Structure 1
Amino acid sequence: MKKFSEVLVMRIFSTGLIVRLLVVLLSWTVAQSSVGKTSPDIAFTDVNVIDVRNGLVVEKQTVVIEAGRITKVGSKDSIAIPEGALVIDGAEKYLFPGLMDMHVHLLTPDDLILLLANGVTTVRNMQGEPSTLRMREAVELGQLPGPRIVTAGRVIDGMPPTASAFQGVTDPAAARDIVARQAQEGYDFIKIYSGISLEVFNAVMQEARQHNMEVVGHLPRDVPMMTALKAGLKSTEHLLGLIDAAAADESVPNMDLSFLDPLAREFVTELGRGEHDLHALVDDQEILEVATVSKEEGAWFTPTLYAMSNMTSNPAPPNPMWDKYMSIAMQDLWDFASGPAYAMSEDQMRGEDAVYELRSLLMRKLLGAGANLLVGTDSPVTHVPFGFAMVEELRAMVKAGVPQDESLRAATLNPARYFGREGELGEIKTGALADLILLEDNPLEDVGALREIAGVMSQGQWRARDELQGMLDDIVKKNKSIELVFSDAPEFPDPGAALADFLAEDGSATRVIADHSDDDKTTIRAAFGESDAWKSVTIDVGEEKHLLQSEGGTTVSLIYQNGQWTLTSDGSVIESVKGEPIASVLTGTPADAAILRAVVGDLEPGEERNAFVWNCGPSLDCSSALSEIIRIRAVKREVIPGYGFFLEADVYEVAAVQRGNITPFSFWIAQGFAKGQPVRYEVDGEKPWRRIR
């Protein structure tokens, strides 16, 4: 069963297969012609410069960039253009600072391309892993196109953690160790979540100060807003805690993320039935005090209104023009998270609508009292795609009452102040880094003008619209190639488990689902694609009997009786062996991960089991297979990019003990949302199989 809270967090929050895989098996979509090349000196001429600080247009300017920095800004008659500079005619166009998305969850390098193509030149990433650090470095070195990355490590939460990829902790000393480790590993800041206790919060804040790291995130349910602000919480995400901080009646439950708290969910449902006057529950003086203290402490608020609308009756809608650029895994995940299984009752939905409106009202009051806002999208929660969602978030803020020029500052100048880099980022002035967007229209009149991009400059490189579009088109081509591979794959009945599609370097494909719902057995359905043909197999794994049946073909059984295992194929005995209490038939594909997980069950790190195995291949041809003994060892639990997001997975290593014909391989089995499903499969330390969805 999928973890309800995780799904809602996401919702808010003729030539054969080988030729089809020419594009598919690139794990990083990178336009190689544009990587690692720094543009020459550049001069934008006759361009209208947007002064975001004052909300003004300065017309017919020349802006000179040398070595990635703005060196001159002035009227065209007063500025000398360096010899050999690339001159870009800005007549009737508008030069705007690069956007900064202050709340994203990066997964792959493709995400960076979507952001860059939409004018986002800096991101604050709210959950990071070692792969994120590698992306950050690659961008800094000019090896990967994308925005500047400032990243947290794994999110720190209470127990049990809201998502399996979060680090759940209840001991303050353990929390200190997590902070120290993330600092040592090179992460930029710490993100906390809703479930940590006041004691853990205090420990995190104290340890973070020791390492000069800022702490941001959800306001924990057990930590009062004033306590958090005075302790130095740098930014509060989603405006969580605001309603509770302004409550006139302390007996009212905290309504934020009500799906996490049955009492809050019931109160929100009552609110939807009209049993409470929500506006009477808040005290304006309390919200003014929050604004005052936040200014004094240098704290910030990131509303993520567009993403938070997913908890209302007007969620972020699908948009085929944008969604096609997201990975296939993410598109599938969005479809699932939007499904009826996770719909709210009408009363609860009306209650969430009221909570959203009240939170927006309090945001306006905060802003009016001088509090600081940042723009963040929370991409890629359901139908909130990287990059494209920036304009939607700005529109949501304007609709909620934030003046248009102020919303634009919240995406440019305010983040520069937040990072302590005012004068370097967020505006167009001499000495600033040349993070720039050339626009066709004036965003001060309509933030939608940020969609009409003529080009983007980031990390010292200018990319015109055609080049950016070409990078996006490459992502679509890759997705279509993958879909083509699986277009003829068999459809399985829904077993209540996540579908896993894998591609191999040799062009083979595997589709597998493991259903653990039966106490007596695990049923695994697999399909193997080779040379444009698919073969389906159903595998029932029980304690003393395994049955493998190929569609319209071979039936293989493995039965344990009187201390021995007997392997038969279509009724003929292949071999009988004595010794190990567990055994299995293998296929040499990622389906083996699901099979062996069913055979050994959950093992703790360091535990191991021996088993007899016969490698019969995907065709189930066991006629010449000989029994071998393998050792299956649980190595560790780690967080990896999985089914469209970061998830926690158990790592198993398999090696031959006897005969040695089995090539060592490793597999990863998901916890949390996709529990029990294979998410990675490597043979002999390489990655011949890549999970697609």
Structure 2
Amino acid sequence: MLLLNTLGLNLQKIKIAGFYIGIVLLAAGCNSKKTTGKESQAIRAVNEKEIGTGKNTVAITGATIIDGNGGEPVYDGCVIVTDGKIVDVGKNGVVKIPEGAQVVDAKGRALLPGLIDSHFHLDGVKDLPALFLQHGVTSLRDPGAWIEAYDGERQSGKPIPRLFLADPHLDMFPPAYPKDAYVVRDADEAVYQVNKMADRGASVIKVYFRLPSGIIREVCNAAHKRGLPVTGHLEVTEAMEAIEAGLDGIEHITSFGLSLQPQIEGEKYRQAVLADNNARKQGRYDVWKKLDVNGQKADSLSKFLVRKGTFVSPTLGAFEYQSPAEGETDTVRLAGFGQMKAFTGKLKKDGVKIVVGSHSMITYAEMGWAYQREMELLVDSGLSPAQVISAATMENARFFRIDDRLGSIEKGKIADLILVKGDPLKDISAFRNIEKVMLNGVWVKGK
């Protein structure tokens, strides 16, 4: 009895010992079944089986190896790839090159893990994933679109990145983006849809800004039982409240607006957005212009995010504003965006997990280069190039829950690799000079 009480089992006393034990075992089994739900599986790209695997052995020699883990670079390095996997990593001349291997001379180049994009939107733009792959993005996550939206890209015959898709985001009426949303009316509908999306191959669940914390909690509980992370775009639900409900990630630095201002001011913004989705477009800048991003509220929020291990994808490129060469400057937008960058830098300095998300199409980047622009903006915000590289590779792999096989250059990991001309540890813009891209051990650029 003492042991049972210690385990916290609240059972009635039964005099027959054997019967008593049987009840204990039955109760334990029932409890396990209730809490586990449907069996969770490893997170996979929906197109994983469609990606070819390299059959040859490739030796990449002479490169500066930047492993994605944040370790010291290996100068004049050598990486051996066989059957789509990394089988050896080290100094050139120390690593034994197998007989018959294809040798790639990479002197003057940096060798890195393929870039991972945490916030990609297709939006019906044909061949956009293929273009991103040519620019070094070997894995991407669309946090809010029907999986079928990518059918055309998967059937195009062109090499495309690994697709980690969410299916539509969960929103309430009236949804901001009806074509990309599944509208739920209560927690039961939300949970039902989470399981349906998990069955369809979703690798993440995204909650949109009209969902209250109570429904977010039920979504997170259901998703976590299926082994899926939950990320959220927040506007009218306060971030710490949503994270306490179970949220694993935050999309957009602007999702912290309610957390950083007095509640009486935040409620004005909140009611404006509840009345009109479009109120947030200019309203964000009005809010951020006034915020103290180094004050007590900012400190408390930052410490909270570190304690909770929350991932943050700032998507600064989606909000960037530059003074025009001609015409009048929108000083509110300019100041508001400056505050967004400053707060992003503070979060990283304090130890928050920052990841890189491109938002795909942004004002100040040419088609296909939004990811590189986001990396540059993160450096402008105070992150070092090394920190941005880790955020783009291994940290994003942890966010995706695929870090056991992707995100770094290590023995046993999948050979998704890029060769960059120049030194991205000194100049992050070197990522605009992608010379070779390997996906699953196959050169898909620069063969």
TM bucket (normalised to shorter chain) is 0.7 to 0.9
1:404 alignment partner in structure 2: 385
2:131 alignment partner in structure 1: 114
Which residue, out of 191, 196, 200, partners 1:181? 196
When residues 464 and 381 of structure 1 are mapped into structure 2, their CA distance, relative to the original with a 3 A threshold, is closer
1:367 alignment partner in structure 2: 348
The question of whether the paired residues in 2 share the 8 Å contact of 1:230 and 1:293 is answered with: no
Does 2:174 align with 1:163? no
Paired with 1:283 and 1:249, the residues of 2 have a C-alpha distance of 18
The question of whether the paired residues in 2 share the 8 Å contact of 1:158 and 1:197 is answered with: no
Cα distance, 1:39 vs. partner? 5.0
Cα distance, 1:160 vs. partner? 0.7
Cα distance, 1:367 vs. partner? 1.4
Paired with 2:82 and 2:258, the residues of 1 have a C-alpha distance of 50
Q: TM-score, normalised by structure 1?
A: 0.52
Cα distance, 1:374 vs. partner? 0.6
Instruction: Report the identity percentage.
Output: 28
**1:440-494, Cα deviation, whole Å (9 max, x unpaired):** 21100111111212211112201343x6xxxxxxxxxxxxxxxxxxxxxxxxxxx
The question of whether the paired residues in 2 share the 8 Å contact of 1:313 and 1:350 is answered with: no
1:44 alignment partner in structure 2: 60
- What amino acid sits opposite 2:390 in the alignment? R
Paired with 2:153 and 2:211, the residues of 1 have a C-alpha distance of 28
Which residue, out of 116, 119, 122, partners 1:103? 119
Paired with 1:81 and 1:93, the residues of 2 have a C-alpha distance of 19
Which residue, out of 92, 110, 122, partners 1:94? 110
Corresponding residue SS for 1:104 = coil
- What amino acid sits opposite 1:356 in the alignment? F
- What amino acid sits opposite 2:300 in the alignment? E
Q: Any residues of structure 2 matched to 1:275-674 within 5 Å, and which?
A: 278-279=290-291, 284-309=295-320, 312-314=321-323, 349-381=330-362, 387-422=368-403, 424-465=405-446
Cα distance, 1:188 vs. partner? 1.5
Cα distance, 1:263 vs. partner? 11
Unaligned runs of 5+ in 2: 1-49
**1:655-680, Cα deviation, whole Å (9 max, x unpaired):** xxxxxxxxxxxxxxxxxxxxxxxxxx
When residues 379 and 256 of structure 1 are mapped into structure 2, their CA distance, relative to the original with a 3 A threshold, is farther
- What amino acid sits opposite 2:141 in the alignment? R
Paired with 1:229 and 1:401, the residues of 2 have a C-alpha distance of 25
- Structure whose residues are more often helix by fraction: 2
When residues 261 and 385 of structure 1 are mapped into structure 2, their CA distance, relative to the original with a 3 A threshold, is farther
**1:135-168, Cα deviation, whole Å (9 max, x unpaired):** 79779xxx65111111101121121111221222
**1:593-625, Cα deviation, whole Å (9 max, x unpaired):** xxxxxxxxxxxxxxxxxxxxxxxxxxxxxxxxx
Corresponding residue SS for 2:111 = strand
Corresponding residue SS for 2:164 = strand
**1:558-581, Cα deviation, whole Å (9 max, x unpaired):** xxxxxxxxxxxxxxxxxxxxxxxx
Cα distance, 1:69 vs. partner? 1.1
The question of whether the paired residues in 2 share the 8 Å contact of 1:258 and 1:264 is answered with: no
When residues 270 and 198 of structure 1 are mapped into structure 2, their CA distance, relative to the original with a 3 A threshold, is closer
Does 2:212 align with 1:231? no
Cα distance, 1:268 vs. partner? 6.5
Cα distance, 1:100 vs. partner? 0.7
Paired with 1:277 and 1:220, the residues of 2 have a C-alpha distance of 16
Paired with 2:130 and 2:278, the residues of 1 have a C-alpha distance of 39
The question of whether the paired residues in 1 share the 8 Å contact of 2:53 and 2:83 is answered with: no
Which residue, out of 246, 257, 274, partners 2:260? 246
Aligned length: 395
Cα distance, 1:427 vs. partner? 1.9
- Structure whose residues are more often strand by fraction: 1
Paired with 2:52 and 2:306, the residues of 1 have a C-alpha distance of 41
Q: CA RMSD in A?
A: 3.5
Cα distance, 1:258 vs. partner? 7.8
Residues 294-303 or 368-377, more deviating: 294-303
- What amino acid sits opposite 1:368 in the alignment? K
Cα distance, 1:382 vs. partner? 5.2
The question of whether the paired residues in 2 share the 8 Å contact of 1:248 and 1:283 is answered with: no
Which residue, out of 98, 102, 116, partners 1:82? 98
Corresponding residue SS for 1:103 = coil
Q: Any residues of structure 2 matched to 1:252-263 within 5 Å, and which?
A: 252-253=266-267
The question of whether the paired residues in 1 share the 8 Å contact of 2:57 and 2:102 is answered with: yes
- What amino acid sits opposite 1:215 in the alignment? V
- What amino acid sits opposite 1:97 in the alignment? P
**1:356-415, Cα deviation, whole Å (9 max, x unpaired):** 222222222211211110100111355656641111111111112222211111101211
Q: Which has the higher contact order (CA 8 A, sep 6+)?
A: 2
Paired with 1:430 and 1:40, the residues of 2 have a C-alpha distance of 17
**1:620-667, Cα deviation, whole Å (9 max, x unpaired):** xxxxxxxxxxxxxxxxxxxxxxxxxxxxxxxxxxxxxxxxxxxxxxxx
- What amino acid sits opposite 1:92 in the alignment? G
Cα distance, 1:86 vs. partner? 1.1
The question of whether the paired residues in 1 share the 8 Å contact of 2:118 and 2:356 is answered with: yes
When residues 254 and 59 of structure 1 are mapped into structure 2, their CA distance, relative to the original with a 3 A threshold, is farther
Larger radius of gyration: 1
When residues 37 and 407 of structure 1 are mapped into structure 2, their CA distance, relative to the original with a 3 A threshold, is closer
Which residue, out of 50, 62, 72, partners 1:56? 72
**1:80-119, Cα deviation, whole Å (9 max, x unpaired):** 2122211101122221111111100134661221011001
Q: TM-score, normalised by structure 2?
A: 0.78
When residues 401 and 261 of structure 1 are mapped into structure 2, their CA distance, relative to the original with a 3 A threshold, is farther
**1:177-236, Cα deviation, whole Å (9 max, x unpaired):** 222221222212211111223333233223323333221120251x22112112221111
The question of whether the paired residues in 1 share the 8 Å contact of 2:66 and 2:110 is answered with: yes
Paired with 1:182 and 1:168, the residues of 2 have a C-alpha distance of 14
Does 2:168 align with 1:154? yes
The question of whether the paired residues in 2 share the 8 Å contact of 1:307 and 1:378 is answered with: yes
- What amino acid sits opposite 1:305 in the alignment? L
The question of whether the paired residues in 2 share the 8 Å contact of 1:112 and 1:146 is answered with: yes
Corresponding residue SS for 2:73 = strand
